[in-house]
């Protein structure tokens, strides 16, 4: 158990809908990262927050947004969902800002029908 | 540009065989970090090792060993006397300290199947 908690584990929704994925980092970790894993794109970095502030942005679509709250949990919001958004979304956390060993949650499997 | 290549898509071995997973990286930074992660069938990514670019010493941890060679931009991973529990997808990853992406860039992964 990595200590990173992601909910829900599975999410099934329809095209055009909006969903929110939630992540609680390990106790003491200030950085939260979001990754998307799909068969065609592999593991893609989406976005990183550190202590409530956006730190780095990767291949995140404009339809997607994230935030980190004062209690350090994070949410990833996906809107206007398309079939191609179906993927496994991972949250990871680390103590510091960069080049850190990441601890991953078990992921949220999103299926867009 | 930052890039990680794992050319082996899938490897199948019989238990107790040794197996090496290849990882080749590209970076313009002189300071960078290399990682290996394991993704078992349960799906969670498990950290195995982090190595910085100034430390070229090979590392051994039980049946696992890593060979870092800056001259060939490779960071290969060897499992000795493989076991069925080693069956997983293994990812190599890179982060750059200065000019590029500090978040991890992952390779496409190598699926290892260890047959009993």
Choose among A18, A21, A19: nearest CA to A7. A21
Contact check, Cβ <8 Å, A42/B47: no
- On whether any CB of chain B is under 8 Å from the CB of A27, the answer is no
As beta bridge partners, residue B26 has B3
**Model confidence at B59: pLDDT above 80:** yes
DSSP A12-38: EE-TT--EEEEEEPPTT--EEEEEEEE
- For A110, other C-beta atoms within 10 Å of its C-beta total 22
From B3-7, B38-42, B98-102, B110-114, the region with the lowest mean pLDDT? B98-102
Residue A86 CB partners (closer than 8 Å, separation 6+)? A38, A110, A111, A112
User: CA A98 → CA A81, B5, B15, B113, distances in Å?
Assistant: 30, 22, 38, 33
Low-confidence ranges of chain A (pLDDT < 70): 99
Q: Judge: B43–A33 Cβ closer than 8 Å, yes or no.
A: no
pLDDT at B24: 98
Q: Which tokens is A11 given?
A: 């999410």
The structure tokens listed for A52 are 């409530």
- CB-based contact (8 Å) between A56 and chain B? yes
Q: A50: nearest CA in chain B?
A: B103
pLDDT tens sequence across B10-25: 999 999 999 999 999 9
Sole residue written with tokens 């500090």: B102
Is the predicted pLDDT of residue B70 greater than 90, yes or no?
A: yes
Reported as a single tens digit per residue, the pLDDT across A84-97 is 999 999 999 998 87
pLDDT at B101: 55
Task: Taking the CA atoms of A96, A97, A98 and A101 in sequence, report the sign of the dihedral they define.
Answer: positive
Query: B59 with B110: CB under 8 angstroms?
Result: no
pLDDT level of residue B98 (50, 70, 90 thresholds): low
B7 vs A contacts (CB less than 8 Å): none
């Amino acid at each position: 158990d990595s200590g990173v908690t992601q909910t829900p584990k599975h999410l099934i929704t329809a095209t055009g809908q909006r969903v929110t994925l939630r992540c609680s980092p390990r106790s003491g970790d200030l950085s939260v990262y979001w990754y998307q894993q799909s068969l065609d794109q592999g593991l893609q970095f989406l976005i990183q927050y550190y202590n409530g502030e956006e730190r780095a942005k990767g291949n995140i679509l404009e339809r997607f947004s994230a935030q980190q709250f004062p209690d350090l949990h994070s949410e990833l919001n996906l809107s206007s969902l398309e079939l191609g958004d179906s993927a496994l979304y991972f949250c990871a956390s680390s103590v510091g800002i960069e080049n850190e060993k990441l601890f991953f949650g078990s992921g949220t499997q999103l299926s867009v029908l | 540009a930052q890039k990680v290549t794992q050319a082996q898509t899938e490897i199948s071995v019989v238990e107790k065989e040794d197996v090496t997973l290849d990882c080749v990286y590209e970076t313009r930074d002189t300071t960078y970090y290399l990682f290996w992660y394991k993704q078992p069938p349960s799906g969670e990514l498990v950290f195995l090792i982090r190595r910085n670019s100034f430390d070229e010493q090979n590392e051994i941890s039980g049946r696992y060993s890593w060979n870092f060679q800056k001259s060939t931009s490779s960071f290969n991973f060897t499992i000795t006397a493989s076991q069925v529990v080693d069956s997983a997808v293994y990812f190599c990853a890179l982060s750059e300290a200065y000019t590029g992406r500090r978040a991890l860039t992952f390779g496409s992964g190598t699926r290892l199947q260890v047959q009993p």
